[in-house]
Structure 1
Amino acid sequence: MRRLLVVGLVVAFSVGLAAPASASWAVLPTLSRNLVAYYDFEHPVRGNPALEQDRGRSGTALSLVNGGADMRVRDGAFRGSRNSLQLKQVSPAVAGNDDWKAGLYSESGVPSLRAFHGAREASIMGWVKMTGQNPAPNSNSAAPDDLYGAIGLAGVLSGDSNGHAVRALLELIGVDGELKLVALARRLDGGESQTFAAAEDWRTLLPPGEWVFLAATFDFDTGEMALYRNGKPLAGKYVAAGDPWRLEGEPEPDLASATDPRGIKIGGSYPQNTREGNACTCRMDSLMFLDRAVRPWEVALQHRWMRWG
């Protein structure tokens, strides 16, 4: 890893890497052309502070659902960042639609996210801090002690999603009876998903009150996925046996479905706000959605640059 980091530093500096003056440009130059969407929560849309500007190339504004501008809090994850996004469950005992989450949804697909239409690869990266009870009480259950079986972080929806199904996702879900930090993806709309689950206890990976930089990468052609914490790869395992992405046979290369994603979900499912699901009481900062699998040295350098740059 040290050799990879040195090589990465040489590459990054060779294309003009300079210390970030603010969170609005704290992204490695090697990643900029693949940065489809980037939300630093420093840039409300003029005239509508309940929307967040996209600092990536797609220009896809993000809706701060239910909490609006109040969801931006003074707690930057790294030097140069001032604000982060507060996500939380509001009424645990009520099956309502008031959880603080973020995202966007269109049943006909989101054309500005077309980079994930027929994509060969993808990545999701960003900072997370747990700030309350996780997993949250299941507001859709009549049993007062029921908890959600997952903690929603960030994902790109599939082309046929109802607000829950994803093309690529960073989340915590149950694996073999235990909650695990996972990268989860579905290559084909309506098809099976594959999950890469981190081996280490999620409470160790995401301790309460601590900012952690997470990354998940997806290669729809080879079937390879990876997870990273604070720039370092995490050991783990693939959960689904066989060939859930249907990679065997023709055609080559294997790509994601040729449909526009129906949106993005952050901090829980159903960004269209029709239902609550998998709430996360947490903060997030500088979320990045990319249309290629970020290399290990880039993940390490991105974390180092944001943390110490």
Structure 2
Amino acid sequence: MLVIGEALVDVLQKPDGSVSAHTGGSPLNVAVGLARCGGRVTFATRLGDDDAARMVLDALQREGVEVFTPPMSGSTTVARGSVGSDGRAEYLFESLTWDLGPADDELVELAAGALVVHSGSFAASLDPGRFAVLNSMRKARGRALVTFDPNVRADTAGTREVEVERIEEVVALADVVRASDEDLEWLYPQSSAFETASRWLSMGPSLVVVTSGGSDAVAMTAEHVVVRAARSVDVVDTVGAGDAVMAAVISALVDAGCGGVGAAERVSALSEAQVSRLLDVALAAGALAVESEGANIPSRERILDVVGPVADGREGVLL
């Protein structure tokens, strides 16, 4: 599995005034989640030549994630944030850049041989690096399961019109898209989440999943629409919750044979029961992630402890 995107260090101030530092970045969190679900993962990113980069590399090595990066130089992105009483975090980004430089061509070749290609967040919207994401997805389309999570950052985005255009360019290349209700409200303030999911589905994806924090979530294919209530949990913070959902969705789809060549068609052919199970798995992962501090992406075993085995009795699979 190939994940493309930013890696950074989250420095969070909590409501009690204490400060903690964790590795982060939406794509990095997804890469970790895939590894914890048993996937063989390569994470393509940009890192500076500094202590923050070494912290990221050490964390990924512990998770068994292989790292693909151009020669390290400059500074690694740091996100300084605060967590409110509702568990939501707001960030200010330092040294925010996204560019793989001369490694772009090699990245495209990695994408051509992957079972899954995932990207999102800054990597899909920031120049000049977003073109490497687009080219990799084009190369992987039809050969791999291509997935995307926009993870919109309104405080760093350009105009709404430019951001919508860039995100829709990636949506059209993806087989599976996951977004939050907050993403969709910012991108399309005049449309409901259901309307946007339907519109995105018409652009090319086989599956669109929309999560809404503690409210209902929806999974939509051309044949099925499934709505599930979010699990009731005590929220410590919401950092990484959407990334946990994305990693669980990808892992479950791979369990169901929806990776590699023909992935889009196999996702489209999922039964209503399978789509329902997929959403249950996704919501379980998100709920587990918010119960502890930082981007605590759950493992396959923890998710299965919540949702139980699949209906046909196969052991250890999510879908």
The answer to whether the superposition gives a TM-score over 0.5 is no
TM-score range, shorter chain: 0.3 to 0.5
Q: Structure 1 or 2: larger strand share?
A: 1
TM-score in terms of structure 1 length? 0.35
Q: Structure 1 or 2: larger helix share?
A: 2
